[in-house]
Amino acid sequence: MPNILLVEDDKIIAEGITFSLENDSFTVNWCEMGNDALKQLDEANIDLVLLDIGLPDISGFDVLRKIRKTSEIPVIIITARGADEDIVLGLEGLGADDYVTKPFNNRVLIARIRAQLRHVKVQPEASIVIQDTPSEQIFEINKDLHQILFHGEVVGLTRAECKILMHLIEKPNRIHSKEHLLNIMHDRPTGAGENTIVTHVRHIRMALNKIDVDNEHIKNHKGLGYSLTL
């Protein structure tokens, strides 16, 4: 069941979209504010974003800029602003995946959502409980022991590296910036250099390769950050 983040300050429009999506077996998280949407993206497993431009706190364009610094999640702009320059900015300048002008038919919007989701391989949420048959799981997390199993074997990592890998496992198939991973590692904003993350990720890769020499699960996205592919 795809999880959609709807960022729309007009309650009537939001209720109509939510009703249509939920009737079509989608889950909808609704935010009126851009900053709340960015927080939702960081905390929840979102599959696609429907993003209005005219938000009360910050512009939807600014929200999209911030999303694209760390993630390639599908984003469909929904807005009354249909000027050519706005469409070009959204699609080419900022990297939106689609641009829909209001008013629109909700059935058409759903068709566009499904078209975008077909390009994304939706993965099940990573397990955080040790199973009786660990060989059936790629990664398993025991947070009490601060331990990660990979194909049933314990991955030899430092505490900091464990935090990084746990975060990547819990939010797979999306790009995480080096700065964001530094904050995860220290549980707060930090002034540490990005080379620290480069070193830790190298050690994580080496530990995973000792168990699985044939696959590379952690990918480096030049200038953006790292992602873990399941």
pLDDT in tens, 18-42: 999 999 989 999 999 999 999 999 8
3-state secondary structure of 225: strand
For 98, residues 6+ apart whose C-beta sits below 8 A from its C-beta are 74, 76, 77, 91, 112, 115, 116
**What totals of helices (H) and strands (E) does the chain contain, helices first?**
8, 10
Q: What mean pLDDT value characterizes the chain?
A: 84
Tell me what pLDDT residue 186 has: 61
* CB-based contact 31:14 (threshold 8 Å): no
Query: Cβ–Cβ contacts within 10 Å for residue 127, how many?
Result: 17
**pTM for this structure?**
0.54
Low-confidence ranges of the chain (pLDDT < 70): 120-137, 144, 186-194
Tell me what pLDDT residue 187 has: 52
Tell me what pLDDT residue 194 has: 67
Domain with CATH 1.10.10.10 in the chain: 134-228
Tell me what pLDDT residue 8 has: 96
Tell me what pLDDT residue 26 has: 94
Of the candidates 30, 87, 29, the residue with the CA atom closest to the CA atom of residue 61: 87
* CATH superfamily assigned to domain 3-117: Response regulator (3.40.50.2300)
Which residue, chain included where needed, has tokens 């499904």? Answer: 114
> Domain 134-228, CATH 1.10.10.10 — does that match?
yes
Domain with CATH 3.40.50.2300 in the chain: 3-117
Tell me what pLDDT residue 127 has: 38
Tell me what pLDDT residue 191 has: 47
